[in-house]
Homo-oligomer: A and B are copies of this chain.
Amino acid sequence: MTKAKEKILNAASRLFHEQGYNSTGINEIIAAANIAKSTLYQHFASKDQLCIAFLERRHQQWFAQLCQVVDPVVGEQAKLLALFDFIMQMNEKEEFRGCSFLNILSEISVEEQSAILQVIQQHKTDLQDYITAISQGTYAHLADHIYFLFESAIIESQLYREQTPVLKIKNIVKSLL
Contacts and interface: CB of A to CB of B under 8 A. Distances in A.
Contacts of A144: 168, 172
Nearest to A110: B161
Number of copies: 2
A168 to B, nearest CB: 6
A161 to B, nearest CB: 7
Interface of A: 19-20, 22-23, 98, 102-107, 109-110, 120-121, 124, 144-145, 148-149, 151-153, 155-156, 158-161, 165, 168-169, 172
Contacts of A152: 148-149, 151-152
Contacts of A106: 20, 98, 102-107
A148 to B, nearest CB: 4
Closest 5 CB pairs of A and B: A106-B106, A148-B152, A103-B106, A22-B22, A152-B152
Nearest to A120: B159
A145 B23 CA distance: 34
